[in-house]
Amino acid sequence: MISHPHWWLSSDLASIGLVRDQKPSSYLSANAIVCLAGANRQSHDMEISLRNIALAVTTDDLTNAFAKILHKPPFQTSPLLNFEIHLSDESHPNGQQGTLTLPTEDAGVTFLRAHGGAGIVVKGRPVLISRSTQAIHESRIERLNNVPWRDPIQLREEQERLLRRNQSFQLLRYSFGRFLRDGSFSSQVSPPGTAHVICDTEPRQIRFTFEPRQKLQNTYDNLFGGHVTRVVTASYAPHNIATLVGNRDEDTAIVFVRADEPPVYTLVNNILDDTSRVVGLGRNDHMPPGCHSLMLAFNSQSDADRFTYACCNRLHLRYSTQHHIRIRDHTLNTTSFEKLHETLSQIPYKLGFEVEKTVADSLLSATDILSLKEVILSLQAAHGDDAPEIFRSFVSELAGRSASRTKRRKRRARRQSSQESLPSLLRRVTQEFIKEHQKPRPLLAPPPQSGVYLSYHLIVTPTRYILEGPVPDQSNSVLRRYGHPECFLRVCFQDENGSKLHREADCSIIDLLGVRYRSILLNGCRVAGRQFQFLGYSMSGLKEHSVWFVTPFKDEDGKLLNAQSIRDNLGNFSKLHKQPARLAARWSQAFSGTDPSITLLPEEIDFRCLDRYSPSGGLMTDGCSSISVELARDIWRSMQKGKKRSAKLRHVPSAFQFRLGGAKGMVVQDPTIQGKLVRLRPSQIKFDAPENLTFDVQSTSAEPIPVFLNRPLISLMEFLGVETQRIIELQDDDIHKAQSVRSSCTNASKVIQQHGLGASFHLPSLFTNLSSILQLEIGDTEDDPSLWTSKLIESSLQCVETYILRELKYRAHIAVPGSYTLLGVSDEWGCLREGEIYATVFNERTGFVQSITGKVAITRSPQIHPGDLQVVRAVQRPELEHLKNVVVFSCEGERALASCLGGGDLDGDIFNLILDPRLLPTKHFEPGEYPAVTIRSIPNACGISDVADFVIDYIQADLIGPIAISHLRFSDLKTPNCTECIQLAGFASQALDFPKSGTPVNFKSLPWLRRTQARPDFLAKEGANITGGQYYTSPKLLGQLFRRVPMKRGIPTAWNGNSSPSDGATVEVALSYVDLRHLGLPGLTDPSEELMEEMTYLLNAYCEQLLIVGQAHTMSKNKNIHISEAELVSGTIMANWSDHQRRRNTVSAMNLQTQELVRRVREELQGDDPGTPETETYEEEDQEALDTETYEDPETPETETDEDEDEVPDTPETGTDEEEDYEDCTFHEQSEESEQRVMAETFKRCLAAWCVAEDSLKEDPSMFGAQSFGLIALGMMLDIVKTSRLMM
């Protein structure tokens, strides 16, 4: 819980009545107000119900049609009779519904007598009318009688004229707050002062401006003879606003900005004329949790009308009106938060985390939780480990977002939960849980795979905090050493839109960092009643502004451990005690994501291996040493334990990227070393940690990695004389492949596998089996029985196509066939000459081997200097024949080749080898060489506060993204070797070293283009309009490539049809033609009721878990929004993110979680035999997809907020193993008869799961998760058929 020191609260707000919902396109101010049918009215009964309205009819259509009747006799004509039209925003099977409100009962009776039978035809369909039983609020009756009729067309023209002025409106009152369960508005922040609001069309936003009544004074008063005033603005982007809610029932003109996300707060100083980000309406005034919405009281109804009209027609916001929204004055009670944490401290952390999550999500308040205290304590006492799951069910019921419920049940649950007291609702959910768990119910929670743990996350933005988890995440040596994963917390500092905070030329973030984030790093934070302390970070985590916190706990010996004691146990850092950045960088080795292997004996480590230097003193073996073949085999065996037979590789990788105590880097196999021994060089040893002898693996050279071009590399290639037509051809080929993904199963499998998509759900093998076993193709033609028209498959392939095209257009992410990305190692045998490299590529699954010789281009990301791309000679040497999938660098010459490539080294860097002769540079440029950056030191021994200060400095001065973008802009306007580009290359080198040196780049020293200078079109953000003056048409290759890529827009929408979207009948017919009995498998008989019931519980549990994953990875942290099922299945995110790197990391985390979820489902489908493995001899294609995804080439940031990631990602290893002790129980180890029985039982269970999914989709075609659950079951059935055929 983030503390909230104080905020102002409104004290003079009364209950305001409002009207109901309306479509944005139907907004009409004085005459036509759209509302939900059936709203509460308080008096008078003259309202007429409208039914059977065509969907194409708008409020304007109805108003014009009814005016032709109501403005003629027998109705009054002088003045014209005023009336209001309201359309319901709810969907109805027989068309729209609404109401007509008339000022007198006589007029209504006359109207009904004349048209109550046949109705009134509007757009070819009769609108049926009848008298409503709802009462009308007195203020509406008064308004209808007193306000003259205005022609809607004239009124709209007047609004348009006023809109062009872009007018700001002064407010009578204002208040920030949130909407409660009962629909009322909780007014929480309303400081005294002067406020205005404007619908700003450029930039597109609603901007609230606030000037406090009390003017600030400081030293500037004496200097300038006046007051320093502050003006705070709160800016809402349109996509963060759910709807505008207007009032028509009271005299006061009230409009609510109902927001899903908080606004961005900035403060302007009138003396210094500077702008800075702040945490709320004051420099130090934090906003309460969930305080996102804004109440605006206008001076007049006409002001409110003009404002809402502008918002609806310029920002395309949804507008609604509602009756009687009560405004409640809620003052901050800090005591309630103290009591909340006191209560949470009395229950286990896992339950407390779930409870506090409801407060962070604004679903419940601290007061609500306190009212539930006794029930929660009883829940924990009675149900123990099940309590967190029960509470999650309670939260889903409360929010009405259960994935396993049908639409009808969800609506009923919402109505029931809104009327039920919280204690009663929690008790009811608990009873339902108990009843369900009397039946067999898979919990989908077996132990996670080695190297994966369940993590808890805290996201801190300028105005709120968000709790996420527990979710699968990559573990590290600290977590494995100490256990207690629930005591460790990943804390990430983000902006409101999910991107990294970054400085801007016209807006400072210094105050925000100091007030909001530094205090958390120094003082810790409370979560679920526990106090967490800042512990450290990994280097990749720091780049994402993510750090580790820990709460004190006792180890197995009963010793109390906290953040300081854990850091003390990492090793001896006495040599770094005055260098905060370097000290924290050394700590970070322990927090890097790694896989565990074995613990070495002290005698198995040789510290006597010296580094090799050039005659001039250049380090040639930076970060690399050797390991014996026997020890490498032991490490590999350990990593393979627990994996399925098909997930193992027989060949031990030639090289490992490792962490061992205080050492890090690469080790390469050396057959000349006898026994079990690893050699460590001084360049690898960063600090002393003699007690930590665990060999943790960060990546391996098990398989080659594909090469993808990127924008900075293409810019350099064009400058260095590479044949540009070849790059265009490669891009055209990628475009064609992307567009062919829906043409056949074969194309889908190949393209998805190449780009590493759909791996969690085994899509490549599924498509292969659909074609080869079922003889089915994908398509949407109902007349062809060989086409399967699954809507989920169709939407997933749309996501795949959009993803590939988006990567091509906005990143120039172009595949280079026949080229490879490999880990770099040093020549330990001294057989390579200067300018020579060695590389042999080997794919174990296919048996493909390529010995690389001749001229090749070599580079390393990020590329920014013209010398970062070099041409070298690849040779073969007998001494190196045992090495595969590594690039070996010579140790001869004056300078290491790796350092010539963007300042690389051999501690885990990966290098791109481009073999295509048409892509070799024809010009040579000397490599960049930059002086060593001074390591920042402080006078005294540094403590955790100094490290915290460095984290804040890093966030403030993280300039890798802006430098990369500026470099591309100067390169396009000039050339990559212009003065500005060479300067930026030097600054980029310093920025990359900043996390270790602590010396930032001086922002003001960077070469900048004028703010008015247009950008090249290829730097346009996703979805941006490039036709205006903000962008120009780049004549260079990047611009040509950008414009050649067609883009398809759109995020997959939920299925709204009345029939099942899965087309399961086609699959069942195709499956019936397979001779299952001949293969020893059961036929397509109806599963037993008991098995169907078990699979139903499994489906429901899966759907709930999948929804949690989908909610966790949206750009918006609104829990009512989630990633589509198609995106989860395809492994993509379709929404436009301003920070590409953030989206990429989010996709990786999402895929890790879906991979774990699918793995657990597949294990449940295997049955209860503990010796039965998963049938996965068919997984090779899928694992290749995982490898491709893992090793995507890092590239230049997409925007100023992005950055390059040059660390090697984790390596999934796959294949088969020849060593008997590698094997767990597999089908090969069982007798043929036993194996066949297991496969038959698994097939039967998968068939039942498929049938349950199909039945659920027939009942509720829009059920979230049911289609992908069916795909998992279908995929396993086809895999078993394939395996059975191979055994015949």
What is the rounded (10 degree) CA torsion for 1211, 1217, 1219, 1220?
A: 120
Yes or no: say if 920 and 482 are a contact pair by the CB < 8 Å rule.
Answer: no
Is the pLDDT at 1272 greater than 80, yes or no?
yes
Query: CB under 8 Å to 831, separation ≥6 — which residues?
Result: 877, 879, 880
pLDDT, greater one: 374 or 403: 374
pLDDT, greater one: 1104 or 874: 874
Count of Cβ atoms closer than 10 Å to residue 399 Cβ: 17
- Residue 893: the pLDDT is 93
**Highest averaged pLDDT of the listed ranges 503-507, 574-578, 831-835, 1025-1029:** 831-835
H helices present in 927-1063, as ranges: 944-957, 960-973, 979-997, 1037-1044
- Residue 742: the pLDDT is 87
Is the pLDDT at 922 greater than 80, yes or no?
yes
pLDDT, greater one: 1261 or 2: 1261
- Residue 553: the pLDDT is 95
Is the pLDDT at 671 greater than 90, yes or no?
yes
- Residue 418: the pLDDT is 55
- At 1024, list the tokens: 């941006």
Give the pLDDT band (50/70/90) at residue 872. very high
Is the pLDDT at 229 greater than 70, yes or no?
no
pLDDT average, residue stretch 797-809: 93
Distance between CA atoms of 335 and 338, rounded to whole angstroms? Answer: 5
Q: For residue range 514-561, what is the model confidence (pLDDT) as tens digits?
A: 889 999 999 999 999 999 999 999 999 999 999 999 999 998 888 999
Q: Which helix H or strand E contains 888, and what residues bound it?
A: strand 886-889
Q: For residue range 1126-1143, what is the model confidence (pLDDT) as tens digits?
A: 999 999 998 877 677 778
Question: Amino acid identity, residue 1014?
Answer: A
Is the pLDDT at 352 greater than 90, yes or no?
yes
Three-class DSSP labels, 301-367:
HHHHHHHHHHHHHHCCCCEEECCCCCEEECCCCHHHHHHHHHHHCCCCHHHHHHHHHHHHCCCCCHH
Q: What is the rounded average pLDDT for all residues in the chain?
A: 83
pLDDT, greater one: 105 or 1000: 1000
Q: Which helix H or strand E contains 869, and what residues bound it?
A: strand 869-874
- Residue 271: the pLDDT is 62
Yes or no: say if 260 and 292 are a contact pair by the CB < 8 Å rule.
Answer: yes
Yes or no: say if 738 and 808 are a contact pair by the CB < 8 Å rule.
Answer: yes
- At 1243, list the tokens: 């097939």
pLDDT, greater one: 16 or 977: 977
**Highest averaged pLDDT of the listed ranges 234-238, 362-366, 822-826:** 822-826
Q: For residue range 999-1053, what is the model confidence (pLDDT) as tens digits?
A: 999 888 999 898 889 999 999 988 777 887 889 999 999 999 999 999 876 667 6
- At 1220, list the tokens: 């008997």
- Residue 201: the pLDDT is 78
pLDDT above 90: percentage of residues in the chain: 47
Give the pLDDT band (50/70/90) at residue 250. low
Give the pLDDT band (50/70/90) at residue 644. low
Distance between CA atoms of 86 and 321, rounded to whole angstroms? Answer: 9
Give the least confident one: 43-47, 406-410, 590-594, 1037-1041: 406-410
pLDDT average, residue stretch 290-316: 87
What pairs with residue 241 in β-bridges? Answer: 259
Give the pLDDT band (50/70/90) at residue 752. very high
Is the pLDDT at 18 greater than 50, yes or no?
no
- At 109, list the tokens: 């009776």
Q: For residue range 1093-1127, what is the model confidence (pLDDT) as tens digits?
A: 889 989 988 998 899 888 888 876 666 678 899 99
- Residue 308: the pLDDT is 87
Closest CA to 703 of 1176, 1187, 1181, 1186: 1187
Distance between CA atoms of 1138 and 400, rounded to whole angstroms? Answer: 31
Query: CB under 8 Å to 1148, separation ≥6 — which residues?
Result: 1189
H helices present in 372-490, as ranges: 373-383, 387-399, 407-419, 422-436, 477-482
- Residue 1231: the pLDDT is 58
Yes or no: say if 512 and 277 are a contact pair by the CB < 8 Å rule.
Answer: yes
Sheet with 452-460: strands ordered across:
465-474, 452-460, 488-493, 546-550, 530-536, 525-527
Distance between CA atoms of 861 and 1193, rounded to whole angstroms? Answer: 8
Yes or no: say if 1278 and 770 are a contact pair by the CB < 8 Å rule.
Answer: yes
DSSP type of residue 615 = T
Question: Amino acid identity, residue 8?
Answer: W
pLDDT average, residue stretch 859-880: 96
Residue labelled with tokens 């045998």: 829
First to last CA, the chain: 61
- Residue 919: the pLDDT is 97
Is the pLDDT at 389 greater than 80, yes or no?
yes
**pTM of the full structure:** 0.82
Give the least confident one: 257-266, 429-438, 649-658: 429-438
- Residue 6: the pLDDT is 35
Question: What is the chain's length?
Answer: 1288
- Residue 597: the pLDDT is 85
pLDDT above 70: percentage of residues in the chain: 82
pLDDT, greater one: 919 or 335: 919
Give the pLDDT band (50/70/90) at residue 132. confident
Q: For residue range 1065-1078, what is the model confidence (pLDDT) as tens digits?
A: 899 999 999 888 88
